[in-house]
Every structure is written in structure tokens, then in C-alpha cells.
Amino acid sequence: MRYVYIGLIVVFTAIVLLFKIQNVEAVTVTLFSASITLPVSVLVVGVYVLGMLSGSFLVSVLRSWIRGARGVD
């Protein structure tokens, strides 16, 4: 089973590296008056990380609201 996990890690790493190599075009993202230019792959990874952080924050807030509504602390 150990070799299966190692194989999956190698395959996943290869896919991520291939994605990084194939998406080097620069894009510009603008919000209000601020703008930033960066590669597509960096943008995708950044959006993914921000999504993970905001999603976990939302789940924790909802859990605390549910506990508060039940009166359990």
C-alpha cells in the first residue's frame, strides 16, 4: 500500500508540474484601481488556496452559529 501512495504522489506532482509548464502566459487581474500581472498557473493556485481558506472559515462560522443556536458551548 505504501508504494501505491508514493505512486499517487508522483503522478499528482507530475500533473501539477505539467500544468505549471503549460500555463506560463501572463494575465492581468484588476480589482478597483489595483492590478497585478502574473502567470495563469500562479493565479489558479492562488484562487484555489483562497477558496480553501474562505471555505474553511465559512464552515467554522456556521458550526459556531449552530452551536450558539442550540445553546451548547
Q: What is the DSSP string of the chain?
A: -HHHHHHHHHHHHHHHHHHHHH---EEEEEETTEEEEEEHHHHHHHHHHHHHHHHHHHHHHHHHHHHHHHT--
Supply 25's cell numbers: 502566459
- pTM metric for this prediction: 0.58
| Cα gap 44→28, rounded to integer Å | 13
Supply 57's cell numbers: 472559515
Across 37-64, average pLDDT: 87
pLDDT tens for 31-47 read 899 999 998 888 888 88
Q: Would you say residue 14 has pLDDT above 70?
A: yes
